[in-house]
Structure 1
Amino acid sequence: MNNVEIDDIYHHDFTTTSEWEVFIARLEEIIHEWKLSNLKTYKALKEADFNLPWEENTEKVNFADVEFSFKYYRLKVDEIKSESNNKLLFDSKEDSWTQCQKDILNATNDFAQLDQDKLEIARLYGIREFLLLMPTKQSLITDETRIKILLSSLTVALSNTYCEVAAFVQVQEHWQKFYLGVNIGRKTRMHLNMVHLKKIPSHCRHLTGLLTLFKQKIGEGCGIKLDSVLVSVRLSYSLKDWSNTTWTQDPPDFEFMQGETVGVDELGKLPFGATFDPIKEFHLFVSWLEICENVIIDSEGFSDLEPLTAPQWSLQVEISSPICLLNDYLSNFLELCSSTKSLIELLGVGAAYTDSESQSLSSAFNILTESRIPSISTVVSKTTSKNSKNIDGPITEDVLLPILYFLFPDAEEMPKAPYDDKINYNVDDDQWKGVKTCAINGLIWRLAIVAAHCAYNLGSMSALAQLWYEFVQEVRFRWEKCIPIPGIGPGFPDCVRTCLLHQKLQMINCCIARKKMREECERKEHNLVIDEGESSDDSEDDEFFECLNEEANDVGKNPPWNRPVGRLAKHPTLRLVQTGEALYLPVTQDPVPKTEDQLEEDAEVMMQLGTDKTASMMRARLMSASLLSDMESFKAANPLALLDDFIKWYSPHDWIAEDSLDQWGQPIGHLSQRMLIKNNPWSSTWESAEPVPAHRQKRLFDDTREAEKVLHYLASKNIGQIGQLLLPVLVHAALVTLHDQVAEALPMPEPRIHLQSIRYRLQTATTAIRQKLQTYEEINCLIGKVEVTIAQMNSLRVKLTDQNSDSQDEELISFLHSLMGNNKTSVPNGYNSAIRTRIANMFYDVQKAAHITMTNSTSDTDIKTDGKFKSFPAPVHKEFILRATASRPSSCSIPQPHRLYVSLKKDAIHMAGAFSEDTIFF
């Protein structure tokens, strides 16, 4: 038993599959799944093919308790399968090469820009497809033995599956991007290795040393003589500090209230532009492609690699997103719109809403408008003499007065910014149709812009509160003195096309007009000399209509207590049903103007009354106030009229005419069914109506009460509500500013699309009576994007185009648009390119400015003769690609392709070599 147990302990089953074999078998299985075993050939790559999409496949594999990702990357180009897939012999040397070997000799995509992770392998070797075995982020492959095991595993898997795709293993730290690989063909093998060094060997700093190194590597142990090596070179230059030259973009020419005086131009416009140059850095790439090594010299003592002689120039810019003034203004104002602080909290008790008499003495605006032609000195002296009643705010007097004159220019003897008489107050007729704000450059427009200036530059919320306080006091003063408010659309409040604040000020102007008319009538009535035999009623009639001869006869037909008054004109066709006398149009009270919020309140009241009979009667009573006034005026003008006469004039659809005529030649008719309903509102109102002319009726529109309501509405707002009243107009002004700037910039479709989107959003936002700040924040974000784009484009135009030229070359525009996309873009027109000249001059000026700073010299002559600086600085990055075809490993081998990529930076060298060998003829 013991012997048996000993035999069992030391018995080994050599048929068991090892973990290494399982790993290789899994790799082979994946390769077969991806169908990479068949021999394929492809079309030769064309220029810019590397910018096409790349396909990526991934599978997970495990080996020695380490998880790996096995990836396959392939460029999506048209492929052509070879018709000789099953051939074992080839007619030429290239038929024995793999597709990878053919690709490394193709120079059409040298130095291509590939930003996607892991695609640097394609850029380093110029290949269109490859396999990559990489550990997960939790594992690193740094041990040399493990690296060799993984690389040999890939080699075995590729050989067993006849896969001719290059395969790599990622080793070392992930950030190092270090890859070792192999490519197995039917008759060839290619080793793909890398070298990273922090210190650059002296013999590797120039092309001469790299050529020697490349040739030694190919001819190592072969004893063969190489043909000429083809060389591709790219030098990279960086330019980031041009602040001391003329190439920087000028900052926005807008220093609001930074000087001793305040100008109208500053007050009437919103700032625009970046606060600093949005172009951070220029990257210039100059290239020489596939040049024979005998044509070019680059050694420690001399170099032919001068940028001005390079056949290809490419440019790439680093663009930042700077803070832009217009967007910053709106953002600052939007923050204020969320505040709940009152004017009393910000300005003190003096800003409280009090009676009109005390308020009229405490406002600088009242002093300003007390005289129609005041002088600045008079205004200042009067204001300072009564500052015990004035509020204290952050806006100083010398800044406040120009603002007041800008908003109310009619108070100045020689207005600097009068309102244009041709202002289009009907904003529905211009390109901003549907945006419900106010007329451009009207009072509300100016107020919104000045409010933004005050909030941004003069003291934030306190400055805005002070401005609003003075504005409201001026409106009150003008109401009391019957001085119309300038810059406001005439007529009733325009609830359809204008914002609420504009409607409120229109209401004040309506009240002023009604008040002036009423006071003028009272004055005339008081001064009118009443002749003997004329009644006061007759004199009242003269104020409202011109009595015709026929009317005088009518007066005599009626008793003194029932004589017609308040006639406007005789109706051209209608006659009274009962008497056949002419029907006279009465002088009626004007319709009652209402602002949008008042109409909404009325609608809410009507809805809250309900639907029962009592509610219907109440609703009819509320709606019949205007009807009663019109009926009383009609009865006063037509004492013998019936309800039928009124309906014929007031609501013709409710008078049903018949075919026959009466004795006076009028069609006989009757009232409609709804007018015949018992106790309907029309008949009830007619019965209760007395013959009272319009000028003796109770006013339907109490201008005094309505004006005081508006003034209370304005004075009682907190700072956030004030901001929300002005916000729609301010955003509209910002959009107009943005539109003008886009029109001046180069044709760019993206900003115009954004402008259209902003306008649609603004139309929706301004339609609602209750502002939604989130919507305006979204609009502000879009405005910021367009403003940044325009600032970036303007900066590029300053640096790369001739500002004196009006030409809009499509090639130039395309070039600038490509740069805006952060793409590496070829400079058009070759050696004769004006852009190339400007770039060269830019580098020269920066070098010159740097040299002047270092030497403290300002003489151009000294600089040029000293020769202490070149037109271009030393390149920040050198890249070389060396290619050759040579027999290896022996002189009798089939010639094989070889390639070496070298990257030289300030403190590092990076090499990626692809060296092939013949596996048949050693």
Structure 2
Amino acid sequence: MDNSEIEDFYHHDFTTASEWEVFIARLEEIIHEWKIPNNKIGPYLKSGDFIKHTWIEAFEKLNFADVEFLLKHYKLNINDEESSAGPTEECEDARSQCQQDALDPLNDFAVLAGEHMEIARYYGIREFLVLVPAKQSSITDETRIKILLSSLNIAAINSNCEVPLLVQVQEPWQRFYLGVSIGKGSTANFEMVHVKKIPPHCKHLTGLLSLFKQRIGAGSGFRPDPVMVSIRFTYLLKDWTNSSWTQEPPDFDFMQGETLGVAELGKLPFGATFDPVGELHLFTTWPQMSENVVVDSEGFTDLEPQLAPEWTVQVKMVSSSACLLGDYLTDFLYLCKNQKTLVDLLGDAASYVSSEDQVLSSAFNALTESRIPTISTVVGKAVTKKSKNIDGPIAEEVLLPILYFLFPDAEDNPKAPYSDVNSYGVEDDQWRGIKTCAVNSLVWRLSIVAAHCAHNLGGASALAHLWHEFVQEIRFRWEKSIPIPGVGSGFPDSVRTCLLHQKLQMMNCCIERKKAREECILKSQSMDIDDPDTESEEEFFECTSEEPTDEEEPSVKTVQKTKHSLWNRPAGRLAKHPSLRLVKTGEALYLPVTQDPVPKTEDQLEEDAQVMMQLGTDQHASEMRARLMSASLLSDMESFKAANPGAVLEDFIRWYSPRDWIEEEGLDEWGQTNGHLSPRMMIPNNPWSRAWSSAQPVPAHRQKRLFDDTREAEKVIHYLVSQRLGQVAQLLLPSLTHAALYTLSLQEQEALPNLPDVTQSILNKLQFATKPIHQKLQLYEEITFDIEGVEALVAQVNSLQHKLGGNTDSKELTSFLVQLMRGKEVIVPGGSTGYIGTRITTMFREAQKAVHILTMSNSNNEMDVSGDNKQKTFPEPVCKEFILRAVTPRPSPTSTPQPQRLYACLKREYIRMAGLFSEDTIFI
């Protein structure tokens, strides 16, 4: 029993797989799941395929030694029909796909975006597997690195996988990859070197060639054929301040100068505040040439940029370039959230305008006039000007041109007059649907000037000052009965214009009614009033005593002269109706002079609608609703009775609501068609009959005004005065955004063919944003963001046009700019000898000259000891890239020739070399 227990205790199952074997088995399983061993050799690549086509990516998770890894698969997605025919497999030892790609020079130096995509650049392969730590941990231990490489090697052999298998080691930022590819009768090893200090012998092509030949010829005793070399140098130009090629931003600091031009006030700024082009990268390339035709050593080099057969350019824009129009809108949006009152911002100078008790008459206003200078006190139309004025946030010399620009009729010779006052409706088809105002109207100008003040003249306090002056001028014009320019006459257009424009239209309506009433009073006072008994009977008698003609029917009675009583004389007649007569007396029916309908702004209509909804649906609510709506009806009835003494309800209905008069067959005694009232008019005690019975014969000019222009004007002024700063900004925001979009629409740039479509999409958003009476700032923030993006693109194109095209405009340049704006590397037409290449060369030369002058000014010695002060056209390249290729037998002279490739990248801070070295595994 004891022996059996001991045997069970020390028994081991050697068939159990270890953790390392499980890891390798999982690698093989994933490779088979992705069907990688079944891949066939693809077609030959074309130039630019690495960039033009998409890369397919897949990944799987797996664990090994308590570390989580990701196995990623990258493959270039190529349509076989579009590519050249692939190589035929002549024998079993044909080159693998990665070896074929390593010798293909058509996609050298391709820069690909995406994680681990630099592998394609380092080794020139179109498909690969890479094993990376999942949590960005580093694998720096040499033993672990060898174990992972061994695992990949075993998995590749067991699964018959010819696709390269690589592993990322060292620190993640180093982008360090090692790997292997097992082909048919050959093995390709992927090696890499990455050091910070560049060895002196590796700084030039000569040293790299020596290193490459030594690596591929070690132990073989075979002298390889000449190495094929591809070279690329990168030159950087980013110091635009030292160059005359910088496009200066538009100068919109005009408000800080001595004068203020009207032309600048009427437009919004557009463009970048500084050059939006951050860097220009020039790539000079010498593709696939023999090492015998080029020399690049420490003492001499043939690799001059002007001699490079290929020039390509790529630009990098400033990440967050500040643009003038976007800044204006952003600052104004910020003010929309300001809840301070005018008194908070202007102090005692504006305190009187916040009280309704002090908004009374012109005489009282003159006693409490603001200490801030207003247009009412400084222009010719003002009565007096105070001897002492305390300057507000906006200086008077700046404020005056602004106010004259808003109210040009205050000048004898206006510099910027408005067009026809009746043309300020939103009728332009391009902007139809935007609920703001007409272009260049008063509200349009006010919104632009407000943006100038908010951005350049002091922010919130400057906007408050401008608004205070604007309201003071509106009050002044009301008191003096001076129409407001740039608004137009007529009723407030609550359908197509913004609320502020409606309020100003309401003020103009009030001013027009006030002027008409005052003129009527003056006219009546100037007329001599005669005794009523001596007045002509033609004014008070109606006579239709014509003899009946042969055509008239004998049954028609002849209308006799009717003398009206002194208290019942007709008044307020407008015109004689062409056909209708009074039902009872047969006298002609006269159209009365009635009061005009009551104009209302959008907020008043909304308030009325809410009142109607709050009344409810019962009988009392219906009566109240009818009483509220019958004020205009009662006024018209009284005017009708005054113009037609002896009229009855039927007469009024026939004129006022013909659909409620139902005609019958036959004629009445006055020769008119018989008829009767509609059923709804015959309901006992209906609102129409009650109103008719209570109506008195009062002409319109003696009635109580339906529209009290004085009261309504004071309500508008109070509305404008009581607004907080954020509310003021929100009133102006729709028009300002409209003006910004209008400014954007004026930009024409052939290099941005989609610009009209983008502008139209922003226009659609603005149409939706301006519909509600209460503005939603989030929508305007989105529109501002869109406008900023388009403005930045236009500024970038303008800057590139200025740098690369100058004053020329050609299809070649436009096509070049279109590709350049996509952020890709673009071939320079004509290379260094073309027009664009010449301008690039000149830019580098002038930049070098500026650096040279700066260096000389900072140095005591004007030239070095040798006296060599020759200035170079190009600076030292920021990056040197070399790709060396050869086909040599390895590991011995009797081996099959195998592809060898070395990529070297030299920068100021490091050197990286990535090599693909193949060996024959059969004839070793």
So what's the TM-score if we normalise by structure 1?
0.92
Write out aligned runs for 1:24-39 (5 A): 24-38=24-38
| 1:651 partnered with 2:657 | yes
Q: CA RMSD in A?
A: 2.9
DSSP-derived class of the 1:428 partner: coil
Deviation at 1:424, TM superposition (A): 3.1
- List per-residue Cα deviations over 1:236-270 (Å, max 9, x = no partner): 01111021222111112211311122221232222
- List per-residue Cα deviations over 1:546-591 (Å, max 9, x = no partner): x999799998632222222211111112222223322111111111
Q: Unaligned stretches of 5+ in structure 1?
A: none
Change (3 A) 1:300 1:367: closer
Separation of aligned partners in 1, 2:374 and 2:207: 87
Separation of aligned partners in 2, 1:364 and 1:414: 28
Aligned to 1:878: 880
Change (3 A) 1:551 1:848: farther
Aligned to 1:843: 844
Q: Is the 8 A contact 2:349 2:370 kept in 1?
A: no
Aligned to 1:454: 453
Q: Is the 8 A contact 1:751 1:789 kept in 2?
A: no
Aligned to 1:472: 471
Write out aligned runs for 1:233-382 (5 A): 233-320=231-318, 321-351=320-350, 352-353=352-353, 354=358, 355-356=360-361, 357-361=363-367, 362-363=369-370, 368-369=375-376, 373=380
Aligned to 1:692: 698
Aligned to 1:187: 185
Separation of aligned partners in 2, 1:484 and 1:828: 62
Deviation at 1:26, TM superposition (A): 2.3
Q: Is the 8 A contact 1:428 1:434 kept in 2?
A: no
- List per-residue Cα deviations over 1:373-405 (Å, max 9, x = no partner): 46xxx99xx645043xx6x62112212222221
The residue identity in structure 2 corresponding to 1:122 is A
Equivalent of residue 647 in structure 2, options 641, 651, 673: 641
| 1:761 partnered with 2:757 | no
Change (3 A) 1:913 1:773: same
The residue identity in structure 1 corresponding to 2:250 is P
DSSP-derived class of the 2:286 partner: strand
Q: Is the 8 A contact 2:542 2:561 kept in 1?
A: no
| 1:903 partnered with 2:905 | yes
DSSP-derived class of the 1:465 partner: helix
Q: Is the 8 A contact 1:61 1:70 kept in 2?
A: yes
Equivalent of residue 581 in structure 1, options 584, 587, 596: 587
Aligned to 2:167: 169
Q: Is the 8 A contact 2:137 2:172 kept in 1?
A: no
The residue identity in structure 1 corresponding to 2:19 is E
Deviation at 1:818, TM superposition (A): 2.9
Q: Is the 8 A contact 1:269 1:449 kept in 2?
A: yes
Aligned to 1:417: 416
Aligned to 2:555: none
Change (3 A) 1:488 1:12: closer
- List per-residue Cα deviations over 1:759-815 (Å, max 9, x = no partner): 122222222111222222222111111111211121111111132x343x1x53343
The residue identity in structure 1 corresponding to 2:818 is H
Separation of aligned partners in 2, 1:789 and 1:184: 49
| 1:680 partnered with 2:686 | yes
The residue identity in structure 1 corresponding to 2:29 is E
Separation of aligned partners in 2, 1:596 and 1:555: 51
Deviation at 1:648, TM superposition (A): 1.0
Equivalent of residue 779 in structure 1, options 773, 779, 783: 783
| 1:404 partnered with 2:403 | yes
Change (3 A) 1:371 1:628: farther
Equivalent of residue 128 in structure 2, options 127, 130, 145: 130
Deviation at 1:32, TM superposition (A): 1.8
Deviation at 1:752, TM superposition (A): 2.8
Aligned to 2:523: 524
Change (3 A) 1:360 1:325: farther
Separation of aligned partners in 2, 1:383 and 1:538: 56
Deviation at 1:143, TM superposition (A): 2.2
Q: Is the 8 A contact 2:314 2:823 kept in 1?
A: yes
The residue identity in structure 2 corresponding to 1:700 is L
Separation of aligned partners in 1, 2:909 and 2:894: 41
The residue identity in structure 2 corresponding to 1:816 is L
| 1:485 partnered with 2:484 | yes
Write out aligned runs for 1:55-66 (5 A): 55-66=56-67
Separation of aligned partners in 1, 2:474 and 2:220: 100
DSSP-derived class of the 1:41 partner: coil
Q: Is the 8 A contact 1:366 1:474 kept in 2?
A: no
Aligned to 2:512: 513
Aligned to 2:668: 662
Change (3 A) 1:558 1:816: same
Separation of aligned partners in 2, 1:236 and 1:705: 75
DSSP-derived class of the 1:713 partner: helix
Aligned to 2:144: 146
Separation of aligned partners in 1, 2:537 and 2:396: 55
| Aligned residues with identical type, % of pairs | 62
Separation of aligned partners in 2, 1:408 and 1:799: 43
Q: Is the 8 A contact 2:278 2:316 kept in 1?
A: yes
Separation of aligned partners in 1, 2:896 and 2:760: 65
Q: Is the 8 A contact 2:136 2:172 kept in 1?
A: no
| 1:598 partnered with 2:627 | no
Aligned to 1:561: 567
Change (3 A) 1:828 1:171: same
- List per-residue Cα deviations over 1:570-626 (Å, max 9, x = no partner): 111222222332211111111111111111111111111222222211211111111
Change (3 A) 1:771 1:20: closer
- List per-residue Cα deviations over 1:91-132 (Å, max 9, x = no partner): 469x52111111100111100011211111111111111122
Change (3 A) 1:384 1:833: farther
Change (3 A) 1:365 1:178: closer
Moved more, 353-362 or 262-271: 353-362
- List per-residue Cα deviations over 1:106-161 (Å, max 9, x = no partner): 11110001121111111111111112222333643222222222212221221122
Aligned to 1:495: 494
Write out aligned runs for 1:191-230 (5 A): 191-230=189-228
Separation of aligned partners in 2, 1:579 and 1:154: 116
Aligned to 1:869: 871
Aligned to 1:443: 442
Aligned to 1:727: 733
Separation of aligned partners in 2, 1:704 and 1:386: 32
Deviation at 1:15, TM superposition (A): 4.2
Q: Is the 8 A contact 2:349 2:372 kept in 1?
A: no
- List per-residue Cα deviations over 1:255-287 (Å, max 9, x = no partner): 131112222123222222211111111111111
Aligned to 1:102: 100
Change (3 A) 1:289 1:555: farther
Moved more, 27-36 or 877-886: 27-36
Deviation at 1:370, TM superposition (A): 6.9
DSSP-derived class of the 2:887 partner: strand
Separation of aligned partners in 1, 2:622 and 2:839: 81
Change (3 A) 1:420 1:54: same
Change (3 A) 1:656 1:140: same
Change (3 A) 1:535 1:359: farther
- List per-residue Cα deviations over 1:309-356 (Å, max 9, x = no partner): 212211111111211121111111122211221112222234223233
Write out aligned runs for 1:538-553 (5 A): none
Separation of aligned partners in 2, 1:132 and 1:367: 75
| 1:894 partnered with 2:896 | yes
- List per-residue Cα deviations over 1:209-257 (Å, max 9, x = no partner): 2112212222111111211211111100111102122211111221131
Separation of aligned partners in 2, 1:425 and 1:364: 34
Separation of aligned partners in 2, 1:560 and 1:28: 118
Deviation at 1:677, TM superposition (A): 0.7
Moved more, 528-537 or 70-79: 528-537
Deviation at 1:525, TM superposition (A): 1.0
Q: How many residues matched?
A: 893
Separation of aligned partners in 1, 2:39 and 2:635: 99
DSSP-derived class of the 2:364 partner: helix
